[in-house]
Chains A and B, each alone.
Chain A
Amino acid sequence: MSRTTVALVSTALLLTACGGGGQIGDTGGTGDAKKMVLIPGVAAEPFYISMECGFREAASAAGYEVDVQAPAKFDATLQTPIVTGVLANKPGAVLIAPTDDKAMAGPMRQLKDAGIKVVEVDTKLEDTSIASSTISSDNEQGGRLAARTLAELVGDRPGSVLVLNTKAGTSTTDARAAGFEEEVKKHPNLKYVGQQYTDNEPDQAASKVTATLSANPDLIGVFATNLNTGEGAATGLRNAGKTGVVNLVGFDASPKQVEDLRGGAVQALIAQDPATIGRTGVEQAVAALEGKPVQRDIETDLVALTKADMEANSKYFYRQRC
């Protein structure tokens, strides 16, 4: 190594060391405090679109410029560049549905360190020190509501009840299943035969429903904890000729699910209230920006939709566009 190289390398090292402990993303400068950005978990999903509708409406009403940036898949590696991109523009507040409760902590902390108010919507980080507020559905309440709705549909008839869950360890669907299990035990005519995991694949859900029908011919109710399990369960019941005989309670209210409820393939849906989540997120972000008190955790209620009352509750249907 020549003397010049050594000198250059040492200078470079020295410069790095003296750089003031900077981090990637330190852009400096000021952004636009009257701007609010929503980063949903995934693009083009009716749940997040409905949330976006509530967000746009409330933020515009409060006098904020709005922007929505969604990753193509529910994936932290796709959401991270969006967060850092938004960081460069320095909006006043960011509403985000973190796609991973640990991996998103780093990028979101950068937002906070840059003085941007962070509000979590729908999902949340394990680290509760980053966001000013968290607004999410009370999934356990949703599960309990599913059990109560099923009990009402069934009446006094006795029979077995199955829960179709997605992947073991998914916090939202596990909470739904737990709430259901807790509540269903209060109804002695319903025999809970446990939950089955489906890897979020409709064909496995269909197969597990028909297998349960073989083992428990008195099956009277199925609670499917998300969209894919619901579609698989409806297929399995249709193949078994048990549509409507076995009461199927689904989760969420995307247009196809609402159509299935109307058509009789599903007997009840437990709908979240994404528009309210979006609106409440804006309220909390505004409060944080204006230095008013912020509520740290807010859980929005879920509602049960059955064929009888669905048209009266059409405001809970998820939307494909605002």
Chain B
Amino acid sequence: MTPRTGLRRRLVGANTLWIAVVLLVLIAVFGALRPDAVLTAFTLQTTLVETSVLLVLSVGMTYVIITAGIDLSVGSVLVFSGVTSAMTMNALHDGNATTAGWGVVLVGLLVALASGAAWGLVNGLLIARTGIPPLIVTLGSFGAALGAGQLISNGSNVAGVPDVLSDTLGTGTWFGVPNLVLLAAAVTAVGALVLGTTAFGRHTYAIGSNEEAARRAGIPVTRHLVRVYLLAGVLAGLAGFMALAYFRVASITGHDTDNLNAIAAVVLGGTSLFGGAGSVVGTVLGVFIPAVLRKGFVIVGVNVYWQPIAVALVLVAAVWLDQSRRRARDKR
């Protein structure tokens, strides 16, 4: 086998290649239909900003699903963290943090991360120590975190986000790249590196492939699972803080389907729901395919009732393509 064919085979066999091709084809089709509206810096910028929050959620979800787990609570934890963060900032600044400074914002960030971490820890401990299935544990925290957020906020959206936060992280740019996107990209890059190159990442794959084998190989499975759910919780907390900066309000009702969107993105990106296989790069592609579809459909003027059907068709077709290609590869 010459090096060249080896490279080609590796590329064709790469988990994410076909999903990347699907994404490029979508962009090419929309670009051909409305080049003036689709292939612009404006569309690129807004699409990136609008996917940043979901991307951060999905990075955490990738780790969880690779361990053969699931985390349904991320959207509710996002809401809870946003509420606690916004209310803390308001409390520190006489009830309305709109004019507050960086000190208050920093406290708000820490509160958001800590809130996320707390729910992540609860999820992780219950799943790793008690053996209750992740689906049930996180279904519980999905309801509980949202309820707790409503309890603290008295059920209504929390306003009063500091202007310095929303003007810099929310809408600010750095050489034309939105700051929110930079933050999401940094989180994603670190997430990809840790998963791909460190012992933490290898242990994550090992547990997802075969938990018992991992345990016998000396991997501290219980501790590792707690850490993975903790990571997902912290990232949900960060996403809550980002959403706060972006929307300038902690919204109670607007994140009901964030968990499903994150799971769809991860699975679309080639991560197996049975664990043991997947990548953060794939997840990035998986986040963008629905986002590009939704945006493209509005731009080219697809009938509103057709839009959800078309999104669903592309999602299922993309995963089917990926699966059949893998089956073909495994037969070789």
A residues in contact (CB < 8 Å) with B? 42-46, 72, 168, 194-197, 199-204, 206-208, 210-215, 227-228, 231-232, 234-236, 238-240, 254-256, 259, 320
Contacts and interface: CB of A to CB of B under 8 A. Distances in A.
20 contacts: A44-B150, A44-B155, A168-B304, A196-B298, A200-B254, A202-B254, A203-B53, A208-B294, A210-B43, A210-B46, A211-B294, A213-B42, A214-B42, A214-B46, A215-B34, A215-B37, A215-B301, A238-B171, A239-B171, A254-B156
Contacts of B274: none
Interface stretch (B19-27, B134-142, B222-230, B244-252): B244-252
Contacts of A43: 155
A207 B171 contact: no
B247 A231 contact: yes
> Of B45, B155, B178, which is in contact with the most chain A CB atoms at under 10 Å from its CB?
B155
| Chain A to chain B: the 8 pairs with minimum beta-carbon distance, closest first | A44-B155, A211-B298, A210-B46, A214-B37, A215-B299, A256-B159, A202-B254, A211-B295
Contacts of A203: 50, 53-54, 254
Nearest to A201: B254
B323 interface: no
Contacts of A208: 294, 298
Interface in B248-302: 248-249, 251, 253-257, 291, 294-296, 298-301
Given A206-B50, A239-B178, 6 more contacts: A200-B256, A201-B256, A203-B50, A211-B296, A214-B46, A254-B157
Contacts of A168: 304-305
Interface of B: 34, 37-38, 40, 42-43, 45-47, 49-50, 53-54, 147, 150, 154-157, 159, 170-171, 178, 246-249, 251, 253-257, 291, 294-296, 298-301, 304-305, 307
Contacts of B291: 207
Nearest to B159: A256
Nearest to A208: B298
A98 to B, nearest CB: 19
Contacts of A202: 247, 251, 254
Given A207-B294, A228-B253, A231-B247, A240 B154 contact: no
Contacts of B54: 203
B304 A235 contact: no
Nearest to A263: B98
A210 B50 contact: yes
B46 A200 contact: no
A240 B46 contact: yes
A189 to B, nearest CB: 21
Nearest to A204: B294
A72 B42 contact: no
Contacts of B307: 197
A195 B254 CA distance: 19
A201 B255 contact: yes
Nearest to B300: A215
Contacts of A197: 304, 307
Contacts of A234: 248
B90 to A, nearest CB: 12
Contacts of A259: 159
A71 to B, nearest CB: 11
B304 A72 contact: no
A314 B298 CA distance: 37
A46 B42 CA distance: 36
B154 to A, nearest CB: 5
B304 A194 contact: yes
Contacts of B45: 239
A211 B43 CA distance: 7
Nearest to B296: A211
Nearest to A241: B171
B238 to A, nearest CB: 16
A256 B304 contact: no
B83 to A, nearest CB: 13
Given A72-B147, A228-B251, A256 B294 contact: no
Given A206-B50, A215-B301, A228-B253, A235 B246 contact: yes
A194 B299 CA distance: 12
B50 A214 contact: no
Contacts of A46: 156
Nearest to A162: B298
Nearest to A240: B46
A45 B298 contact: no
B171 A195 contact: no
A215 B299 CA distance: 5
B211 to A, nearest CB: 35
A213 B299 CA distance: 8
Contacts of B150: 44, 72
Contacts of A195: 304
> Of B37, B291, B296, which is in contact with the most chain A CB atoms at under 10 Å from its CB?
B37
Contacts of B156: 44-46, 254, 320
Contacts of A236: 46
